[in-house]
Amino acid sequence: MTKISAYYDSPVGTILIEAMDDAITALLFKDEKKIQPFANSNTSNDELIHKCILQLNEYFEGTRRQFDLPFQQNGTSFQQKIWLALTQIPYGQTISYMELSKRTGDVKAIRAVGTTNGKNQLSIVVPCHRVIGSNGTLTGYGGGLWRKRWLLEHEAKIAHGVKTLF
């Protein structure tokens, strides 16, 4: 199948959305302001991108806490296990890289967990922004720490009515 893409203008900057084989394959922050109108040509991937945009709108409006989208990213079985575990972190909550290592069965794999977290191509939908340092500090985020902070504060405000302080 053909890969299609669209740019989404979010409150935290431009997000490149890609779909292929009836699954969202990437949601990546882009610093350039390259916005092109999304033209629906009635293919299943176009419908999927449209659904993704609608769900992102709901997320940023505070009315969506979980995404209902087929998504796929290529990786090893270990990476797939970590990415699946990320989707199980509740909205508005955070866990440490150490806790994520424990949840996935190998406390000694903390560095591999961090590396895999950094290779996540599905920002927000696979919520790698919910993983923080063991001491509670914000650490590493491909989209920039300011975006990670914004996403965490947005979710905390919606889920708990509070603004987190990082």
For this structure, is 52 an active site residue?
no
DSSP SS3 for 153: helix
Catalytic one among 128, 131, 132, 152? Answer: 128
Other CB atoms within 10 A of residue 31 CB = 9
- Integer angstrom CA distances of residue 113 from 42, 82, 152: 39, 7, 20
End-to-end CA distance of the chain: 43
| Beta strands, E only, 55-133 | 95-96, 131-132
| Alpha-carbon dihedral sign for residues 71, 74, 77, 82 | negative
Catalytic residues: 128
